[in-house]
Structure 1
């Protein structure tokens, strides 16, 4: 009988998936960078300044369209296709964002939706000039983290979410810093500087978890973790359904992590071992 796969130390919780990490990061960045990105356009700045609730509308519209774009891009079957979806879809979303923002501001200004369609059409036409190129830039930046999530999905491993978390953290730090520099007094719904600090924290957390996982594996190899041991992978059947502890990166997964169930007694000298994850054997042990 096959025992259930035991949880591997330093594995992320099941709800913390690469797609969710990227989606949350992009939505936060979109809300923070939306106003600084358009503040240098006189027509857009004037419309935002004279219309109540414009800051929230622009931030919400940008975040909404960015989330739709990312959900579409992360479903790509290759990293290249994901990047192309981000870039092409970003340009389209940028044009639509201007129309959606103007329509939303019109509803708040007039108190009804009678002019919403006209505002959307005019805004989209205007957005084709300014919003399209801005959306292209946003989409190109989204491609960095989206491709990271797609790679984690196509080549899954226990450290996949932490790899994405590290990439997202660095991306948020750089993106938040750039948005803060470009802000030039623009009002914002989400502080870019705080977003940069959050990104730095996420990058450190992801890197620390990856280091801790490797350090734990080193203790297993050294025999310092009694409940775990490393053994030679004995056929495809033993490794069926198991994820690599660390993304292989072209390396041969010739070892398996075994969990030795506790509960020895006087009548049972050997505890059953359950395969938990794939890994690469140390060179000395692999040669032996």
Structure 2
């Protein structure tokens, strides 16, 4: 492993860590050497993932938390502090969405999405920063999971606006917290097939392939390298950045299929593989 990407001895946490993108991030950080706390609403999957991380030889525990609750966030971060004694890396991934067009959404739907996706990220980041400032020397990496919905239409107003807020929040916090040697960045995935794609028709999946320059539907595995990069010393001079990881999906005109000369790296069957860790980090 390139030592710039080595996370040995680092203490990390992942919110919404029990499944999907969060699970991939947690396992990737552990594979790179970090101890990883799992924060999630679902105790069953959270405990299972913590046990899986411990099998990799890393320290891990599960902490239940609704990230929209300030008291629960503070309790979870206190638990992480007691477990590790410090915090070096935080991935704020917990998120929700409500199906339906905006004209069908109730104010409660808006509130539910924004309270988790945006307010929850702010609450977690504030608590994480306070713990990172206690490191000696003070430093840390905060990584917020946004979406291509932050700059293109991807679902509905509540979801897209909340993710756009995450991007600008990350930039604002990066500007403020650089004085503590804390880097704040975000990752904007595209449409992640092995998280959401199983409910989609093959026709819809094929349309995604046709308008994505790299030719396949995104997997959670495609986020492993980016999250390790932003967590590691390799990104020490990167802050306030929105790293778009979407296979070029958001570059498409949406008017006609893009041309290909070679088969894509991943075939349709491989799009649904839940491979959270890529060897070699």
| Interval containing the TM-score (normalised by the shorter chain) | under 0.3
Q: TM-score with structure 1 length normalisation?
A: 0.27
Identify the structure with the greater strand proportion: 2
Identify the structure with the greater helix proportion: 1
**Higher Cα Rg: structure 1 or 2?**
1
Q: TM-score with structure 2 length normalisation?
A: 0.28
